[in-house]
Structure 1
Amino acid sequence: MTLLPALRGSGADRADALRVAGRVLSSEDLLGCVNAVADRIRGAPAVAVEATPSLEAVVGMVGAVQAGVPLVPVPPGAGAGERRRIVRESGAAALLGGVPGAPALPVVPVDLRQRSWTEQPEPAPGADAVILYTGGVGGPSRGVRISRRAIAADLDLLADAWRWSGDDVLVQGAPLFRAYGLVVGLLGALRVGSRFVHLDRHAAAGPVGTIYLAVPDQWDRISRDRPWARTLSSARILVSGDAPLAPAVTERLRLLTSHSPIQGYGTTETLVAVTGNADARCAPGVSGTPLPGVQTRILDSDGRPVPADGESVGELSIRGPTLFSGYVGDSGRVPADGWHATGDLATVAADGSHRIMGRPGADVVRGRGRLVHAGQVEEVLLSHPGVRDVAVVGTPHRVLGEQVTAYVVAAEGLTAQVLVDHVGRLLSAGHRPRSVRFVDELPRGPQGRVRKSALIAAG
Structure 2
Amino acid sequence: MAGSTALLSALIQGTQRPVSIDGTTLTGSELLGAASAVASGLHGRTRVAVNATPSIETVVAVAGAVLAGVTVVPVPPDSGAAELQHVLRDSRPDAWLGAAPPAVAAGLPPGSTPLEHLGVDVTARASYRPVAVADDAIAFVLYTSGTTGPPKGVLMPRSAVAAGLDGLAQAWDWTGDDVLAHGLPLFHVHGLILGVLGPLRLGCGLLHTTRPTPERYAAAARAGATMFFGVPTVWSRVADSPADAAALRGARLLVSGSAALPVPVFERIERLTGLRVVERYGMSETLITVATRADGSATAGCVGVPIAGVATRLRDEHGAEVAHDGESVGQLQVRGATTFAGYLNRPDATAQAWTADGWFRTGDVATIDAAGRHRIVGRESVDLIKTGGYRVGAGEIESVLLGHAAVAECAVVGVTDADLGQRIVAYVVPREPVVDEAGLAEELVSLVGAELSAHKRPREVRFVADLPRNEMGKVQKKRLV
Against the structure 1 CA distance between its residues 245 and 442, is the aligned structure 2 distance closer, same or farther, given a 3 Å change threshold? closer
Whole-Å Cα distance in 2 between the matches of residues 43 and 394 of structure 1?
Answer: 52
Task: Name the residue aligned to 1:424.
Answer: 445
Within a 5 Å distance, the mapping from 1:4-19 to structure 2 comes to 4-11=8-15, 14=17, 17-19=18-20
Task: Name the residue aligned to 2:141.
Answer: 131
Whole-Å Cα distance in 1 between the matches of residues 52 and 403 of structure 2?
Answer: 29
Whole-Å Cα distance in 2 between the matches of residues 74 and 133 of structure 1?
Answer: 8
Task: Name the residue aligned to 2:216.
Answer: 205
Whole-Å Cα distance in 2 between the matches of residues 401 and 108 of structure 1?
Answer: 55
Q: Is the 8 A contact 1:347 1:356 kept in 2?
A: yes
Choose 131-140 or 403-412, whichever is displaced more. 403-412
Q: How far did residue 384 of structure 1 move?
A: 8.2
Task: Name the residue aligned to 1:113.
Answer: 123
Aligned to 2:185, what secondary structure does the other structure show? coil
Aligned to 2:13, what secondary structure does the other structure show? coil
Task: Name the residue aligned to 1:346.
Answer: 366
1:328 aligns with 2:354: no
1:139-173 deviation line (CA, Å, top 9, x unaligned): 43211010000011111111111111111111123
Q: Is the 8 A contact 2:262 2:399 kept in 1?
A: no
1:186 aligns with 2:186: no
Q: How far did residue 55 of structure 1 move?
A: 1.5
Whole-Å Cα distance in 2 between the matches of residues 452 and 143 of structure 1?
Answer: 23
Aligned to 1:81, what secondary structure does the other structure show? helix
Aligned to 1:327, what secondary structure does the other structure show? coil
Task: Name the residue aligned to 2:26.
Answer: 25
Q: How far did residue 344 of structure 1 move?
A: 0.7
Choose 158-167 or 279-288, whichever is displaced more. 279-288
**Which letter maps to 2:124?**
Q
Whole-Å Cα distance in 2 between the matches of residues 283 and 79 of structure 1?
Answer: 39
Whole-Å Cα distance in 1 between the matches of residues 49 and 436 of structure 2?
Answer: 46
1:100-137 deviation line (CA, Å, top 9, x unaligned): 22223111222222222241414110001111112234
Whole-Å Cα distance in 2 between the matches of residues 408 and 311 of structure 1?
Answer: 25
Q: How far did residue 138 of structure 1 move?
A: 4.5
Aligned to 1:265, what secondary structure does the other structure show? strand
Against the structure 1 CA distance between its residues 63 and 437, is the aligned structure 2 distance closer, same or farther, given a 3 Å change threshold? same
1:219-257 deviation line (CA, Å, top 9, x unaligned): 111111111111111111111111111111110111111
1:283-328 deviation line (CA, Å, top 9, x unaligned): 2111111112211110112211111211111001000011101101
1:424-458 deviation line (CA, Å, top 9, x unaligned): 3654374435263868x8655576644333443xx
Against the structure 1 CA distance between its residues 328 and 379, is the aligned structure 2 distance closer, same or farther, given a 3 Å change threshold? farther
Aligned to 2:385, what secondary structure does the other structure show? strand
Q: Is the 8 A contact 2:411 2:427 kept in 1?
A: yes
Q: Is the 8 A contact 1:362 1:374 kept in 2?
A: no
1:157 aligns with 2:173: no
Q: Is the 8 A contact 1:78 1:445 kept in 2?
A: no
1:176-218 deviation line (CA, Å, top 9, x unaligned): 1111111111101110111111133343231021111111111
Give the TM-score of the pair, scaled to structure 1.
0.89
Between Structure 1 and Structure 2, which shows a larger proportion of helix residues?
A: 2
Choose 221-230 or 200-209, whichever is displaced more. 200-209
Instruction: Give structure 1 stretches of 5+ with no counterpart.
Output: none
Whole-Å Cα distance in 2 between the matches of residues 132 and 298 of structure 1?
Answer: 26
Whole-Å Cα distance in 2 between the matches of residues 166 and 238 of structure 1?
Answer: 17
Aligned to 2:125, what secondary structure does the other structure show? coil
Whole-Å Cα distance in 2 between the matches of residues 444 and 284 of structure 1?
Answer: 22
Whole-Å Cα distance in 1 between the matches of residues 333 and 86 of structure 2?
Answer: 29
Whole-Å Cα distance in 2 between the matches of residues 414 and 274 of structure 1?
Answer: 42
Q: Percent identity?
A: 40
Task: Name the residue aligned to 1:101.
Answer: 103
Aligned to 1:43, what secondary structure does the other structure show? coil
Task: Name the residue aligned to 1:75.
Answer: 76
Task: Name the residue aligned to 1:373.
Answer: 394
Task: Name the residue aligned to 1:357.
Answer: 377
1:436 aligns with 2:462: yes
**Which letter maps to 1:360?**
E
Whole-Å Cα distance in 2 between the matches of residues 401 and 28 of structure 1?
Answer: 61
**Which letter maps to 1:34?**
A
Within a 5 Å distance, the mapping from 1:406-417 to structure 2 comes to 406=426, 417=438
Q: Is the 8 A contact 1:381 1:423 kept in 2?
A: no
Q: Is the 8 A contact 1:365 1:402 kept in 2?
A: yes
Aligned to 2:380, what secondary structure does the other structure show? coil
Against the structure 1 CA distance between its residues 373 and 386, is the aligned structure 2 distance closer, same or farther, given a 3 Å change threshold? closer
Against the structure 1 CA distance between its residues 378 and 151, is the aligned structure 2 distance closer, same or farther, given a 3 Å change threshold? same
Task: Name the residue aligned to 2:111.
Answer: none
Against the structure 1 CA distance between its residues 433 and 225, is the aligned structure 2 distance closer, same or farther, given a 3 Å change threshold? farther
Against the structure 1 CA distance between its residues 449 and 291, is the aligned structure 2 distance closer, same or farther, given a 3 Å change threshold? closer
How many residue pairs match? The answer is 451
Against the structure 1 CA distance between its residues 384 and 200, is the aligned structure 2 distance closer, same or farther, given a 3 Å change threshold? farther
RMSD: 2.8
Task: Name the residue aligned to 2:281.
Answer: 265
Aligned to 2:320, what secondary structure does the other structure show? coil
Q: Is the 8 A contact 1:378 1:392 kept in 2?
A: no
Against the structure 1 CA distance between its residues 337 and 10, is the aligned structure 2 distance closer, same or farther, given a 3 Å change threshold? farther
Whole-Å Cα distance in 1 between the matches of residues 208 and 316 of structure 2?
Answer: 40
Q: How far did residue 416 of structure 1 move?
A: 6.0
Q: Is the 8 A contact 1:35 1:120 kept in 2?
A: no
Q: Is the 8 A contact 2:181 2:228 kept in 1?
A: yes
1:452 aligns with 2:468: no
Whole-Å Cα distance in 1 between the matches of residues 331 and 135 of structure 2?
Answer: 31
Q: Is the 8 A contact 1:126 1:148 kept in 2?
A: yes
Against the structure 1 CA distance between its residues 381 and 354, is the aligned structure 2 distance closer, same or farther, given a 3 Å change threshold? closer
